[in-house]
Structure 1
Amino acid sequence: MNVINVHGREISRVMEGVQFAVVPLGSVEYHGPHSPLGTDIILAKGFGERIDPALGPLVYPTVPFTSCPGKTQHYSGTVSVRPSVFIDYLSDIVEGICQLGIRNIVLLNAHDANMGPSRTVAESVTGKYRDASFLLINWWQMATIQFTEQMGIFQGTAGRGHGGPYEMSAVKAFCPELVSVQESDLELDSCPPLSSLPYVLVEGTPQGWDGYTGRIQQTSLEAGQLIVDEAAQNMNKLIKKWLEMRNGTNGEEDQHGIS
């Protein structure tokens, strides 16, 4: 259920069926000449709408403005707020949800730069509400690189990267008319990995970068539909396991039809 449709007199009744709140997190950010500025808003909202209603979600409006990295701040159309402002803003949102009595909150993220601030907020608020639990979901991690390779979705590339074919194919699955790759659009290969181990590299101007990266000519609706279906299925499995853990059930019975 979407919270904006709940009447004041219905709050108590609606709350009886709510198991968790969902706060989608987006951005207004340049993603290349072929992509909408609201790419992350479209994805966050779209995946929020793909959450299985049987799980008992209460979905909140997508947060549109956030902090954007230095590598996109100077591109036309990007709107970036200070990280401290975003942290305070998101803290107030989730504390308002906790005050309603909800203690399970999914932060459904579609913007890479939201990961750090979101965790900061979750760590802080759980110090105040000790019975609260936050599940931070980055939609792009819900479909593995191995999945796209097995399905043969992209050729010679994993497709990942800001504004790349993985992300923009997913946008096409939700809003096909808003992604427009032209033959003249450049294909840009990012820097190869420095290590097979996890690391963080932050640069103002990365290699293979012009406000986006990737072999964008491989963007397609068909790829997007496969990616979104896989990511949504895995997202719902994850949420279901989390709720089972929170409710103290063993998950042997699949009451919600998700296996």
Structure 2
Amino acid sequence: MTREPNTRRWHALTWEEVGQCVAEGIDTAVLPVGATEQHGPHLGCGMDTELADQLCARAAEAAGALLLPTLPFGCSIGHSRRWPGTLALQPKTLIDVIKDIGDWVCASGVKRLIIVNSHVTNAAPLRCALEMLRADHDDLMVAVVNSAHISERVRERHFADAEDWHANAAETALMQAIAPELVREDRLATADDPDRTVGCVFSHPVNRTSLNGVTGTPSTATPDDGRALFDWMVEDLTALIRRAMREAPPLAHGYSASIYGDKVAAS
């Protein structure tokens, strides 16, 4: 049986097809960034990656953007070595990886790069990579979108059972809906663990805030809740990508041009 070619998935395109997409005005690419890390006794370690992959696939297709391969590793060093399963990158490594990807994406003619992050502590390294990319490439616009903050309704659902949530009701429900093979239903009843970070001044690693790698109440999750939340996330991310595809810089000033009209010499 021959599979129909997907005209938007970067890894399935030839170099001619990538160039053709850009020539036809498809100059927006979506980069899903996940993680591989412990998610308590009831969720598979690839939960963040699975979410990023499926969410971005749906939204990029709906919006008509190019879809880059999902990055399955992130900055998960805060999860400590108390529980096996975590495969983490140092923040500086993630910065370099995203910067390199962005350089090559730009070289292919992409003008808008939307990085969709599904793991909370990837946010700082991704922001650093954004700063570097926009300084190096005058013709590349870059955005970092954190999946739990796509919209206010999505944020409220994620934070409903814990401020410092992890492997909680929202994440569990999402996996029950879109990747049930990642959920150990027989472990849900005893997986809940409270948020112990309220009032803390310091940002403590997970081994000092959770007994089992969970923060929240995954026992309350249902597939119906997960389907509703995932539909919201797809709808709201699709709308955001469509807005990004139309956006232009508020001003056309070049990064390396001074107010006097001269090009700033490279050091």
| TM-score clears 0.5 | yes
Q: Confirm or deny that 1:202 pairs with 2:203.
A: yes
Q: What's the offset of the Cα at 1:214?
A: 1.1
Q: Confirm or deny that 1:3 pairs with 2:10.
A: yes
Matches within 5 A, 1:24-173: 24-53=32-61, 55-144=63-152, 157=161, 161-173=165-177
Q: What's the offset of the Cα at 1:183?
A: 5.3
Question: 1:20-43 CA deviation, whole Å, 9 max, x = no partner?
Answer: 111110111000110011001101
Distance 2:164 2:180 in 1: 19
Distance 2:171 2:163 in 1: 8
Q: What's the offset of the Cα at 1:111?
A: 0.7
SS in 2 for 1:246: coil
Point out the structure with max Rg over C-alpha: 2
Question: 1:155-193 CA deviation, whole Å, 9 max, x = no partner?
Answer: x83697110011121122211232123255231110364
Residues 19 and 53 of structure 1, relative CA distance in 2, 3 Å threshold: farther
Q: What's the offset of the Cα at 1:74?
A: 3.4
Distance 1:54 1:145 in 2: 20
Which blocks of at least 5 consecutive residues in structure 1 are unaligned?
Answer: 249-259
Distance 2:225 2:102 in 1: 34
Distance 1:179 1:80 in 2: 22
CA RMSD in angstroms, aligned pairs only: 2.7
Distance 2:78 2:62 in 1: 40
Residues 130 and 142 of structure 1, relative CA distance in 2, 3 Å threshold: same
Q: TM-score, with normalisation over the residues of structure 1?
A: 0.83
> Match of 1:96, as an amino acid?
W
> Match of 2:171, as an amino acid?
E
Residues 127 and 147 of structure 1, relative CA distance in 2, 3 Å threshold: closer
SS in 2 for 1:108: strand
